[in-house]
Chains A and B, each alone.
Chain A
Amino acid sequence: MTTLRTPDPPVAPPASATRVRRRDRPVGRRRKSQPEAFAFLTPWLLGAVALTVGPMVVSLYLSFTDYDLFTSPKWVGFGNFAHMFGGDDRYLQSVKVTLIYVLVSVPLKLAVSLLVAMLLNTRRSANGFYRAAFYAPSLLGASVAAALVWRALFMGGGPVNELLAFFGWHTPSWVDDPQFSLASIVLLGVWQFGAPMVIFLAGLKQIPAELHEAAAIDGAGAFRRFRHITLPMLSPVIFFNLVMEAIHAFQAFTPAFVIGGGRGGPADADLFYTLYLFEVGFQDFRMGYASAMAWVLLVVIAIVTAIVFRTAKLWVFYDDAEDKK
């Protein structure tokens, strides 16, 4: 995962000089590259128009209608949105479940992945093995197979029950109990900390060892070095991971679908936003309402991301100074 690294890392630029504008300058100073640019963009543009913008416009229209998939849509103005925030208990439940999931699983996952990445950021033998091993769960992603295994592990009488009982804590079937069910899905998310970890690791390797060595000579302890060198130098990677993981968490579907038995789990404890949206649209045939929900989700994700991007200027340091000449 070399997503954010540069092939030729700069030789330890002073930290103050690395803070630069994010937008780099296009090369077209000498020649106009416009026609070529659109040649390169053609596939993407086609997709954007036919598969993204067009369908988005249609679904935006649908969000202001009653549409049951069978008869033509009926205009209801803001009725769908009004119903969402006044009178639909399940909608509010799905918001609650999703927020808990995002707020708990994302920080937990990032913390675990950063700690493990720092642990692996050495030149000891077997390093590659550990990295591959920690990464393995991420390979499964949101697969049906992974969720099935998880369900079996946390089922009544399954290994987790048995293990906890061994330590004297008798729990019900995690996946079938409203108090534990969401926790099992959060754990599934955290278990897959490998992907952000590998990205963190690639970022950590970009931090010139000289910085740490110089700081150590100056008498800075491990924590101070972490706080004043690692964190700032790693901030673009943290930023990237935070945005990606948050977006993923908001849209989580398959684990909740499989573990919650396709219906939102016991007493709606796993009723993720996307799951409710799916149920409303595809099982209750309320596509208008589902479209409205999708648009609210989109707006919320956009706002959250915008906040992260805005505040990023305060804490993210970009290291592509050589671009700016």
Chain B
Amino acid sequence: MGRTTERRTRGRGVAALAVVVPLLLTGVAACGSDSGGGGGDVTITFVWWGSDGRANLTKKAVELFQRKNPKIKVQTSFSAYAAYWEKLATQTAGGKPPDVLNVDSRYLAEYGGRNVLADLNSGAGKAISLADVNPELAATGVYQGKRYAVPWAQNTPAMIYDAAAFMAAGADPAKGMTWDQFADAARKAGAAGTARGVTDFGILDTTLEIWLRQQGKQFYTPEGKLGFTGDDLRRYWELAGKFRDTKAASPADVTASYNTSPEQAPLGKKLTSSEFAYDNLLPAYQKANGKPLNVAPYPSGADGDTGQYRRPSMFLSVSARSQQQEAAAKLVDFLVNDPEVGKIVGTDRGLAPNLKVRAQLAATATGNDKTLYDYEAALEPKLGAAPPVPPKGAGAIQKLLQRTYEEVAFGRMSVDDAVNRFMTEAQKGLS
């Protein structure tokens, strides 16, 4: 009966074990070889967000640092933007954030204000030189009088577009255009092909910010409150609505699939012919889309002001709880100021913050890099200073804007209701 069968088949359990045990042994061996390397006296961790292309560049820069500082070993790690913040939060919760980390302006107050980041104006951070960094750029990264971060690159909010599609629509965005002209061109570009003219920008906090700046307003006040009224937001969404209604902008389901990674954004997926993003992302969009893309200033109001500004594209910070603040500060200084690092990382994150390094690189740039340097050089005199550091909760507001606008785009909510919801939740989130 059953019992005897069970006994007879017992041998197979042993067989199963025989499968598992060598598996474990090989695994363990793999682990052993891993921990054997190194030999530095000090080990620091360094994390950032971005693509694997960016990771390869950054790792090369880190290797260079390790060669020049043989006593410091740097462990690196990276994730995509959203995953990056998820992980950083758990690490921080456990009391051990990485020693050196990339911070986005939307999260600077969140982490800085909670004493997770070291004040680089004192202690080990003094070793970081900002002498050659563009002064307006260097002024960023300061929140409530403390320097929680230094800018690692400079970029500018910009429009990336399919040159041929807009040419065919009789427009040249690179020369600058008003919103009305842009709406017309985007509608024509969308009608001509399978891709709509522009990715619906009603969801984008950066575009809202630029649009507000064009009218002399701001997204956040220096006190950390909303710098605009419900009426402003309503007008912005009505502008976006005009694009949507004329089929100049992407349909709602395409808009909802928007992702900050160029590879997965509508323009990268060839679903639209233009998208508001940052100028340093041109190569990534280019690669994903396949067609020749170009970068243009934002459409402007009637007075021609594009509202763009010199944006610290990625901050470098040191953990306040790091046991190796000196080594960490050394790495930050190296990444910001070393000319060879500038050469290695190129324009992946934007222009080099160190103006001497930037000048060297600009002189020898080719291809997309050259497009970027030329673009920024032409724009430079018009660029404003970066807005003050956004308050705690800015990361959540970015998502709130996207969510509430989607309700409008899908026709599930009127603009007025969506505006009310946004304003209520935003004010709650910022208090």
| Bound-state Cα–Cα, A283 to B425, Å | 16
Residues of A within 8 A of B26 (CB): none
Is B338 among interface residues, defined by CB-CB distance under 8 A?
no
Q: Which of B13-21, B110-118, B119-127, B170-178 contacts A (4 or more CB under 8 A)?
A: B110-118
Q: How large is the interface on B (under 10, 10 to 19, 20 to 34, 35 or more residues)?
A: 35 or more
Can you offer 17 A-B residue contacts whose CB atoms are under 8 A?
Answer: A70-B92, A172-B251, A172-B252, A173-B254, A173-B257, A177-B252, A177-B253, A177-B256, A178-B406, A263-B399, A267-B403, A267-B410, A268-B403, A282-B86, A283-B85, A283-B89, A283-B395
Q: Which of B315-347 contact A (CB under 8 A)?
A: none
Residues of B within 8 A of A69 (CB): 89, 92-93
Across the interface, A7 reaches (CB within 8 A) one of B2, B251, B252, namely: B2
How would residues 164 to 191 of chain A score, 1 for a CB under 8 Å from any chain B CB and 0 otherwise?
0000000011011110000000000000
Q: Specify the chain A residue showing the minimal Cβ separation from B413.
A: A267
Across the interface, B93 reaches (CB within 8 A) one of A7, A155, A267, A287, namely: A287
Interface of A with B (CB < 8 Å)?
7-8, 68-71, 89, 155-156, 172-173, 175-178, 261-268, 278, 282-285, 287
Is B69 among interface residues, defined by CB-CB distance under 8 A?
no
**A68 CB to nearest B CB, Å:** 7
**A4 CB to nearest B CB, Å:** 15
Residues of A within 8 A of B253 (CB): 156, 172-173, 176-177, 266
| Bound-state Cα–Cα, A156 to B256, Å | 11
| Bound-state Cα–Cα, A71 to B320, Å | 14
| Bound-state Cα–Cα, A287 to B89, Å | 11
Is B28 among interface residues, defined by CB-CB distance under 8 A?
no
Is B3 among interface residues, defined by CB-CB distance under 8 A?
yes
How would residues 60 to 86 of chain B score, 1 for a CB under 8 Å from any chain A CB and 0 otherwise?
000000000000000000000011011
Q: Is the CB of A178 within 8 A of B412?
A: yes
Across the interface, A261 reaches (CB within 8 A) one of B93, B257, B396, B412, namely: B257
Is B259 among interface residues, defined by CB-CB distance under 8 A?
yes
Given contacts A71-B114, A267-B412, contact A176 B257 (CB under 8 A): yes
**A180 CB to nearest B CB, Å:** 9
Q: Which of B388-431 contact A (CB under 8 A)?
A: 393, 395-396, 399, 402-403, 406-407, 410, 412, 421, 425, 429
Residues of B within 8 A of A173 (CB): 253-254, 256-257
Residues of B within 8 A of A89 (CB): 421, 425
Residues of B within 8 A of A261 (CB): 257, 259
Is B363 among interface residues, defined by CB-CB distance under 8 A?
no
| Bound-state Cα–Cα, A70 to B82, Å | 20
Is B6 among interface residues, defined by CB-CB distance under 8 A?
yes
Q: Specify the chain B residue showing the minimal Cβ separation from A151.
A: B257
